[in-house]
Amino acid sequence: MKNRFLSNILLTFIWVALTGDFTLSNFFFGFLLSFFVLKMVISGESRAKYFRIAPKVVAFIFYFFKELVKANLQVAFEVMTPRFQMTPGIVGFPLEASSDIEISILANLISLTPGTLSLDVSDDRKVLYVHSMYIKDRESFIAGLKNGFEKRLLEILR
Amino acid sequence: MTLLDFIYYFVLPVLSISILLIFIRFLMGPKMVDRIIALDLIITTGIGFISAYSILYNQPTLLDVAMILALIAFLGTVAFTYYIQQKNKP
Amino acid sequence: MRTIILKTASSYLLPVLLIFSVFILLRGHYLPGGGFVGGLIASMAYVLHAFANGLSDTKNLLRFHPGFLMPIGLALAFVSGMAPLFLDLPFMTGLWYPGEIPVLGSIGSALFFDIGVYLVVVGVTLTIIFTIVDTI
Amino acid sequence: MLIAVLLGFVFSLLLVVAGKFFRGKPAILSAIIPLSLFVYFSGFINEVSGGGVIRQSFKWVPSFGVNLGFTLDGLSLLFSLMITGIGFLVFVYTSTYLKGHEYLDRFYGYLSMFMASMLGLVLSDNMISLFVFWELTSISSFFLIGFNNKSEASRKSAITALAVTGLGGMSLLAGALILGSVGGTYTISELLNSNQVIADSPYYIPIVIFMFGAAFTKSAQFPFHFWLPGSMLAPTPVSTYLHSATMVKAGIYLLMRFTPILGNTEFWNSTLLIVGAITMVYAAIHALFRKDLKGILAYSTISALGILVFLIGQGTEKALLAAALFIVVHALYKATLFLVTGIIDLQTQTRDVTVLRGLRKVMLPVAIAGFLAAISSAGIPPTVGFLGKELTYESTLALISMPVLWIALILITKILLLYAGFVAGISPFVGKLPEQFANTKKPGMLLWLPPMILAVTGIGFGIFPALVEPIVFPVVTAMGESLGNEHLKLWHGFNTVLWLSIATIAIGTVLYFILKPSQKLVESAERFEFLSPKALTTVGWAYFNKVSSLWTRIFQNGYLRNYVSTIVVFLIGLAGYSLYQTAKFDLDLSTLNEITLYEMAVVAMMFSSIFFVVFTKSRLTAVASMGVMGLSICLLFVFYSAPDLAMTQFSIDTLTVILFVLVLYRLPRYLKLSDYRTRIKDGIISLAFGSIITVLILEVLASPVDKTISKYYAENAYVLAKGKNVVNVILVDFRGSDTFMEISVLAIAAIGVYALLKLHLKETDQH
Amino acid sequence: MTNQLVIYPLLLQLFLSIFLMFAWRRISWQRVISIVGGFINIAVSIWLFAFIWNEGTHTVQAGNWAAPFGITFVADILSATLVLLTAISGLAVSVFSASSIVAARLKYGYFPIFHFLLLGLNGAFLTGDVFNLYVWFEIIIISSFVLITLGGEKAQLEGAVKYFTLNILASMIFLTAIAVLYGLTGSLNMADLSIKVAAIENRGLVEITGILFLIAFGIKAAVFPLYFWLPDSYHTPPSAVSAIFAGLLTKVGVYALIRFFTLIFVDNTFLQDTILVMAILTLISGGLGALVQNNLRKVFSYLIICHIGFMIIGLGLFTEMAIAGAIFYLIHDIVVKTNLFMVSGLIYRITGTNSIRSLGGLYAQYPMLSLLVAIPLFSLVGIPPLSGFWPKISLITAAFEGENWWVIGAILFASLITLVIIAKVWANVIWKEKLELPERLNFRYYEKLTNEGKMQLVAPIVFLSLVSLYIGFGAEHVQQLSSRVATELMDRQQYIEAVFKSSQTTKP
Amino acid sequence: MTDLIVGVLALFGTLFVFFAAVGMLRMRDTYLRISVTTKAATLGIGLLLVGSAVHSYELAITAKVFAIILFLFLTAPVSAHLVGRTSYFSGVKLWKNSVMDDMKGKYNPETEELGSGLEDEPENSDSKK
Amino acid sequence: MEIVLAIMIGFLYAAGIYMILRRSLVKLILGIIILGNGANLLIFLLGRISKGRPPIIAGDLKVFAEAYADPIPQALILTAIVISFGLQSFAIILIKRVYKVVKTDDLDEMNAIDQDS
Ligand code: NA
Ligand code: NA
């Protein structure tokens, strides 16, 4: 119920942002609309979980953008210089995250940042296969991810 | 050099060149997946194009198109990968 | 497709896209958009859901056959086109509620017509795609 | 008169519902109708012979100038009497002849429909209504010839007859319409006043040719005669009634009716002379080589029709009188002979003259009728046939050019016809009765009485020519000639005509005794059959069918791409020609916007993606390229101020890609199936098409344009329609009906898709 | 009440289609709705026809936007006539469908689509806007696609591919032509275009635009050399579907040709000569094609093509008399062709085949039906005084007045060959002895039908036969109507004034 | 001042897009290309979009721009993931200089199952769906 | 630019027709789509094009303050696009059904209807 309400609020904000009309009436309309939409989309069994709004989010966002810019510069350097310094490969990253939403967000964030790409999650949800451009060795790569994204993310989500 | 000149003489030409470069990848392939990525990136670049263009002509309404592009391009990719996956089914 | 990442994405994209589609629908009279594009986006939301979760899940979500939306939408458009006839005005004459309503702006038969378009487009697109996926 | 004409139609309609009743004994009751009509028309003899003309007119389709106008003058009276008189006898005869036939009612239905049509034809004073009835006679003839519908030969003959007479019908239609246009009316009696205008008009010759086309086909003139022997497959009453006495004379009637309007010109007369002469001689010779009684009679009928045309071609009042009289003569004796043949056929099951002998012993009345008809046909006094023959010789002798040739031809014809008459009317009855016919049953009175009546009438008219005068003389009057104080006489004194008559009878009789019909003769003629118009027509028809097949297969060859290229080439041809004639190619380039790099980039992408779609070997790549193309178009729409379009284009394209993707993976490989040459050819066609479009666009862009309407939209979109996105306002308000139909299209398509994929007919459901 | 009368036929069909969609699976309801709707439609159409006949051309400005700014619906006497004929054919086919279309097809939207098709036809006849005409055409096309593929059997699909492609090609050319027209004039209203096109200086461009329209409509009308889709597809769907196609689909093309080439593209000899040549070749090609077919429905299909020539000739000759002839022929042809294809369906129900070689025995088995069948068959030939005969008077006379001997020749040729073909059909289908056909289990033969089912097959044929008898024997009425149509068509000013007249009543 | 900010944003945005384009061409295998595009494009386009938001200086537009960016960031990684896994499963090879491939042999095309390599541990076997 | 676009449209028409002339059903339908795109652009171009002036009345204005692109062709194209979409989707499904029933994509083999039946 709480999640549902939060989702409703979140969608209302999206609506208000979309319309760019920050009036009370629009907010109210957006709320009704999202309520109706949620009623339409949420079936009995699957209850989607949504972000809990926390200050950590802000910090996380900054961390993420830092990583994003870093990654982009790296790529820029890589593609604009004549020779490649890449050592690419696929690494199986043992997941600590367990729920669908955790895994998904983690995987997506990994995909968005440093030279890395989430290929898939194993069917038993234990391993996230990540393709990376720069792998020195497996352990340090895994550790980097564990201490970077996964830790921060789980702090927010749990 | 005004902003509009900058957009006109730098941003749009560079984006044009970029889109053509990506298009070359689209043509080259070699695999279907490469084409899918290229197509996706072409569309994404198109969004950039539109935003630059909306600055140039001061027409922010054009950004609505960009919004549609962002949303729907994704669905195209999903469909293509779905296709390849179905096709690979024994 | 067996991927939880897509599955998760689709479940949060679905409401967002639906909201977006209504947004596109309602502002069509003022800015780019309208019933047609709105309807397309709404149906794409469901299509995406179907890709990620399988058709039967999506059908459960919808609870009724999407084809049913077509006569409803057409009937809505028909009624909004017919209404002026009762005032002895020609077919499809725009009738407007005097004054503005918050959010939606002016309310008039054209709006209902556009909603009809929206419903038909959703019905059509989903019927087509669901039928194909069903018979693959 | 309207009622008189319609009576037959009404009766045939009655038979549709009350057919069962008339199928049995009461069949003979139907003869009441022709009888009463005969009595009705006889009542006019006095008035008409006194120079009276009875006219009636009923409005039908005045917009076309078409009336049901009827004229009863000498000409139409003669025909009406023949139609109803002989009709009566045939109706009576049929009741026995086809007794117990399961479709007797239909037969009567067709027969009375024919009778009514024929009456309408000869009574019509309006060319269009004449044509209407003319066609109805053809159709009734079709049904009657095909009456034995289970026999393939019958069906074929019916079609042939209908085709030939139908050809004539078309010709009549054209002739009548043109004549109507030239003469300013379709009313025949009014046209008489404008015969000079018509003769002077540049369309005189075409009109006459069309009229001849009608007359010659209907009256079986060479080379259109061949349908008539074929139609002998019809039951004998039909042959009697339609194919000797009445319908075939419709052409003769037409010529006679139009003689005062179109006749008396060199072209009219000489054509008729020549065609008539060829027909009479050709058919008479043919009659020699038959052994089937009906075949002999058919050819002698054709020959007689030739004589009639020949006489009309002579055009003098004497000749016309001869024609009129000969119509009566021929109707009497030929109908008799046919009826007699029918009886023989019915009783002995054969019509082969080489085996028929001595039948007088089993059917004396029939033999008498046959004999009387034969001598009438031979022109032996005191038959009316003699009168006819005399007049014929007399008028022919009076011809100005080449009288000797014409006399020779008519003499030969008459001799051969005499021979034919004897063979048909006398030879089956004389000699020893063969074993096989010993038990032949005597025909009933209702069978032999009709021919007897006809035969006796022939003798009666011969002995008392004054009886036939009031019927025959007004015919000539009706054709615009005056006869003065002439009378028909058996005895003219010793003159050339008499010597010719004697020669005819003598030579003919000798020929009858020397030349016996035989299988050999028939076979010897068959050797030349391939040269006959019939054979040539058959071959021609076969070729025509072949050409039709070929033509149809060339265009309708089943290959979609050929259809498309034909259409496109046609378009290129027409539009190319027109462009070449008019395009100025002086484009004012300065008015066109300058080109920027980003536009070029998008266009380049567009071009290459099109190339890629066209030349790639992978279906999916093609589809992806379509995606690129869609995006390029979307960007173009953005550049040129069409955000709504850009949105829609892109969403639709993506959706299309999705559909394709969902459908494609089960399809076979995307092969290049056409060979190199086809591809080059198609490439040229396509590029030509594209070039035309490009040139057209540039031409249009160079011309000025009026933007009043879009200005109106822009000014009123918000003020009146409360919207700021003008495109959307157009869609839902200014042109909302378009949008309504557009979503209907979508809904229909969706239903179609649903049905296409979900509906699988089971075997029980099919069709 | 009558202010909006012009669009009542449209609203009625639209309502029926939507209503039928709501009754999706209830096919027995659908049958009733469709037939009752058909009767109402006839009533409305007669009302409209009478109104227009008495009051003259009437318009409705959709959305209350004055011409040329909105979409104008125009009912002149031609449109009203065609709407009435659509209603007549539509009702006949509705009833015929109720029995002849199998339940499986009915469950997949046969009736809604059928009424959409009628909607499209009415719309095409009534609209006064070029682009709106395009939209109506698309309604017609898509519904015909669905109807032609409904059931998805092999032959149907193969026919549908050709039908589909060539019709789409026509639409594309149509659309191109509209674009060019808009590019030249900035207008889409037909009356407005009539004025504006006349004012264009570059006549060459007008001519090319005319050519584009000629080809676009020519494909739809199935004119030589554009007719290929027709013989390859019309014999494939159920005969009720072919019946409505045969009666009305090509006629929409003819209608559009007549409308455009009397209102917008006039006074161009090149176009008129082209039309005339195409018409002559259409008559010949159709006739030759029909002669060599063995499938009854294919014979009729080629005859459709052949007889389109008569109507196009009227247009090519372009005199009032010729156009009156074309209109008369159009009226006759709609009724008779619809009827013929229903006849072919009836014959199929009786015998289980449409192959002429295998057919036969109808005369012996069903004499009354044979007689009934004779009416449309011989009307088609134009055996006078049946309906096909009368228009030839106008056409031949008009051709003669223009000294077009080739045209006269072609008319006579086509008439004669139709005569021969129908004689052959009659001889082989009706007269010939019944042949032994392979047993077809599960096939619902005519004799096995209930009386109600039989009546639903025969009654529409009787109905249309009566109509065609009326056209033949009441030719005076039809000719008056045709002449009036022709007069109105030749007088463009009348149409233009009617469209702009009512403008005062609308905003602003 | 606004112009300058917009210019800088546009400059970097454009450059990142350009790098992605070059990367797209130059990168040696599919996976690398996916990597390149996801990042460069999102950031580059994001900057350009922000630029136009700043330029318009309207709240509504800004909101819209952030909505677009949000959509992009929501969808880009998912599509990267989809294409990546599809590539791998359809047998697209890694670049020859790649150093490791942990996924090798884990995918069963018959059952479409992707193993983790940890299945042998018995206590976890029930978590598998 | 109009010249370039004119050439491009001509090229689209050419490519569309060329594809329709192929023997593959899939190519045929791609051809139809290309042709449709060509026609849409043709309408667009012939309605005269202008850059950066969408026909949307800005902000609080009631009428246009400056020149704008002609909205009519845009509305027409929108309708045409949607209609084409209906037809295309039907066509695409037709491919599917045809392939299922006829077992080929080769148009030249779809001639059973030509045999007399
Ligand atoms: Na990444
Ligand atoms: Na990277």
Helix (H, G, I), strand (E, B) or coil at A120: strand
Residue in E14, E17, E62 closest to C90 by CB: E62
Band of residue D485 on the pLDDT scale cut at 50, 70, 90: low
Q: Would residue E360 be called left, alpha or beta, if left means φ above 0 and alpha means ψ between -120 and 50 degrees?
A: left
Is G101 inside a domain boundary? yes
| C38 neighbourhood in chain G, CB within 8 Å | none
Determine the pLDDT at residue A51.
Answer: 40
Structural domains of chain B sorted by starting position, each given as residue range(s) with its CATH number in brackets: 3-88 (1.10.287)
Domain containing residue G80: CATH number: 1.10.287.3510
Mean of the pLDDT values across residues B1-9? Answer: 85
| Angle (nearest 5°) at CA D230 between D227 and D234 | 120
Determine the pLDDT at residue E362.
Answer: 83
- Long-range contact list for D583-589, CB < 8 A, 24+ apart? D583/D695, D583/D699, D583/E204, D584/D699, D584/D702, D585/D695, D586/D702, D587/D698, D587/D701, D587/D702, D587/G3, D588/D702, D589/G3
Strands of chain B, DSSP E:
none
Residues A75-105: pLDDT tens digits?
Answer: 788 888 888 778 888 888 888 877 888 888 8
Q: Do G90 and E165 touch (CB under 8 A)?
A: no
Cis before residue C15, ω within 30 degrees of 0? Answer: no
CB E501 within 8 A of CB E56: no
Residues G34-69: pLDDT tens digits?
Answer: 999 999 999 999 988 888 888 888 777 777 777 788
DSSP string, G54-117: -SB--TT-SS-SS----HHHHHHHHHHHHHHHHHHHHHHHHHHHHHHHH---BGGG--GGGS--
Complex ipTM, two decimals? 0.92
Query: With the C-alpha atoms ordered A58, A59, A62, A68, is the resulting torsion angle positive or negative?
Result: negative
Band of residue D743 on the pLDDT scale cut at 50, 70, 90: very high
Determine the pLDDT at residue A43.
Answer: 52
Say how many C-beta atoms besides its own lie within 10 A of residue C88's C-beta.
10
Phi, psi of D67 (to 5 degrees): -120, 160
Determine the pLDDT at residue F123.
Answer: 47
CB E483 within 8 A of CB E78: no
Tell me whether A129 touches chain F (CB under 8 Å). yes
Q: How, if at all, do strands F100-101 and A89-94 pair?
A: parallel
Residue in B31, B37, B47 closest to F45 by CB: B47
Residue in B10, B48, B81 closest to F86 by CB: B81
According to CATH, the topology of domain D559-704 is: Four Helix Bundle (Hemerythrin (Met), subunit A) (1.20.120)
DSSP string, D94-144: HHHHTTT-TTHHHHHHHHHHHHHHHHHHHHB-BHHHHHHHHHHHHHHHHHH
Q: Do E208 and D582 touch (CB under 8 A)?
A: yes
**DSSP 8-state class, residue E385:** T
Sorted by where each begins, the domain ranges of chain F are 2-95
Query: Which percentage of chain E shows pLDDT scores above 90?
Result: 62
DSSP string, D194-262: GHHHHHHSTTHHHHHHHHHHHHHHHTT-TTSTTHHHHGGGS-HHHHHIIIIISTTHHHHHHHHHHHHHH
pLDDT at G92 over 70: yes
Q: Do C90 and E18 touch (CB under 8 A)?
A: no
Tell me whether C62 touches chain B (CB under 8 Å). no
CB D418 within 8 A of CB D509: yes
Chain position carrying tokens 């503005």: C100
pLDDT at C102 over 70: no
Q: Do G56 and B53 touch (CB under 8 A)?
A: no
Q: Do D132 and E424 touch (CB under 8 A)?
A: no
On the 0-12 / 13-18 / 19+ scale of CB atoms within 10 A, E487 is: middle
- Determine which of G57, G81, G89, G101 to mutate to test the interface with C (most C C-beta atoms within 10 Å): G89
- Determine which of A60, A69, A111 to mutate to test the interface with F (most F C-beta atoms within 10 Å): A111
Helix (H) or strand (E) holding C94: none
Tell me whether C1 touches chain F (CB under 8 Å). yes
Say how many C-beta atoms besides its own lie within 10 A of residue E264's C-beta.
23
Dist. CA E145–CA D77, nearest whole Å: 61
pLDDT at D305 over 80: yes
Tell me whether F95 touches chain A (CB under 8 Å). yes
Mean of the pLDDT values across residues A44-60? Answer: 53
Instruction: Name the more confident of D535 and E411.
Output: E411
Give the max Cα distance, chain E: 73
Average pLDDT of chain F is: 81
pLDDT at E504 over 70: no
pLDDT at C77 over 80: yes
Q: What is the identity of the amino acid at G68? A: Y
CB F60 within 8 A of CB F69: no
Band of residue E144 on the pLDDT scale cut at 50, 70, 90: very high
Residue in C70, C113, C133 closest to D732 by CB: C113
Band of residue D670 on the pLDDT scale cut at 50, 70, 90: low
The residues on E that touch C, with CB distances below 8 Å, are 3-4, 7, 10-11, 14-15, 17-18, 21-22, 24, 60-64, 506
Mean of the pLDDT values across residues C27-48? Answer: 85
> Is the pTM of the predicted complex or chain greater than 0.90?
yes
Band of residue D591 on the pLDDT scale cut at 50, 70, 90: low
Q: What is the identity of the amino acid at E503? A: S
DSSP string, D703-743: S----HHHHHHHHHTTTTT--SBHHHHIIIIITHHHHHHHH
Considering only A43-47, D68-72, D211-215, E99-103, which range has the smallest mean pLDDT? A43-47
pLDDT at D135 over 80: yes
Least Cα distance to D61 among A31, E182, E324 occurs for: E324
Find the ligand nearest to F77 CA.
Answer: 1
Q: Would residue C103 be called left, alpha or beta, if left means φ above 0 and alpha means ψ between -120 and 50 degrees?
A: left
Is G93 inside a domain boundary? yes
Determine the pLDDT at residue A47.
Answer: 41
| Angle (nearest 5°) at CA F37 between F33 and F39 | 125
Band of residue C117 on the pLDDT scale cut at 50, 70, 90: very high
Band of residue E333 on the pLDDT scale cut at 50, 70, 90: very high
Residue in D608, D628, D639 closest to B53 by CB: D639
CA distance B22 to chain C (A): 26
CB D422 within 8 A of CB D509: yes
Residues B55-71: pLDDT tens digits?
Answer: 998 888 888 899 888 88
Structure tokens at D635: 């960007």
Find the ligand nearest to F39 CA.
Answer: 1
CA distance C107 to chain F (A): 22
Mean of the pLDDT values across residues B38-63? Answer: 90
Structure tokens at D699: 């031409």
Least Cα distance to E89 among E45, E152, E153, E144 occurs for: E45
Which domain does G87 fall in, by range?
2-52+69-116
Band of residue A53 on the pLDDT scale cut at 50, 70, 90: very low
pLDDT at E150 over 50: yes
Band of residue E33 on the pLDDT scale cut at 50, 70, 90: very high
Determine the pLDDT at residue C55.
Answer: 86
pLDDT at A32 over 90: no
Mean of the pLDDT values across residues D184-213? Answer: 89
CA distance C64 to chain G (A): 23
Instruction: Name the more confident of E355 and E339.
Output: E339
Search chain C and give the residue with CA nearest E17. C71
Tell me whether C4 touches chain F (CB under 8 Å). no
pLDDT at A22 over 70: no
pLDDT at D439 over 60: yes
**DSSP 8-state class, residue D187:** B
**DSSP 8-state class, residue D186:** S
Contact yes or no, G with E (3+ CB pairs under 8 Å): yes
Residues F57-68: pLDDT tens digits?
Answer: 887 788 888 888
Band of residue E332 on the pLDDT scale cut at 50, 70, 90: very high
CA distance G52 to chain B (A): 5
Find the ligand nearest to A88 CA.
Answer: 2
The contacts of residue D481 (CB under 8 Å, 6+ apart) are D316, D317, D320
Chain B, 25 to 54: residues with Cβ < 8 Å from chain F are: 25, 31, 33-34, 36-38, 40-41, 44-45, 47-48, 51-52, 54
Residues D17-40: pLDDT tens digits?
Answer: 777 777 777 777 888 888 888 899
**DSSP 8-state class, residue E359:** -
pLDDT at A50 over 50: no
Q: Do F74 and C5 touch (CB under 8 A)?
A: no
Determine the pLDDT at residue E170.
Answer: 94
Residues C9-22: pLDDT tens digits?
Answer: 888 888 888 988 88
Q: Do B22 and F51 touch (CB under 8 A)?
A: no
pLDDT at G73 over 70: yes
pLDDT at D189 over 70: yes
Find the ligand nearest to A85 CA.
Answer: 2
Mean of the pLDDT values across residues E235-239? Answer: 87
The residues on C that touch A, with CB distances below 8 Å, are 2-5, 7-9, 11-12, 14-16, 18-20, 22-23, 27, 57, 60-61, 102-103
Q: How far is the CA of A118 from the centre of ligand 1 (A)?
A: 7
Determine the pLDDT at residue D671.
Answer: 66
Instruction: Name the more confident of E374 and F41.
Output: E374
CB C56 within 8 A of CB D750: no
CB A41 within 8 A of CB A85: no
CA distance C5 to chain E (A): 38
Mean of the pLDDT values across residues E428-451? Answer: 79
Say how many C-beta atoms besides its own lie within 10 A of residue D460's C-beta.
16
Least Cα distance to E244 among E139, E151, E121, E350 occurs for: E121
On the 0-12 / 13-18 / 19+ scale of CB atoms within 10 A, D404 is: exposed
Structure tokens at D572: 């290129």
CA distance C29 to chain G (A): 10
Query: Which percentage of chain G shows pLDDT scores above 90?
Result: 45
Contact yes or no, F with D (3+ CB pairs under 8 Å): no
pLDDT at G113 over 60: no
Determine the pLDDT at residue D275.
Answer: 93
CA B90 from chain center: how many Å?
33
Residues D1-11: pLDDT tens digits?
Answer: 778 888 888 88
Helix (H) or strand (E) holding D193: none
Is G61 inside a domain boundary? no
Determine the pLDDT at residue F124.
Answer: 45
pLDDT at D402 over 90: no
Dist. CA D230–CA D237, nearest whole Å: 15
CA distance D617 to chain B (A): 12
Chain A, 22 to 61: residues with Cβ < 8 Å from chain F are: 22
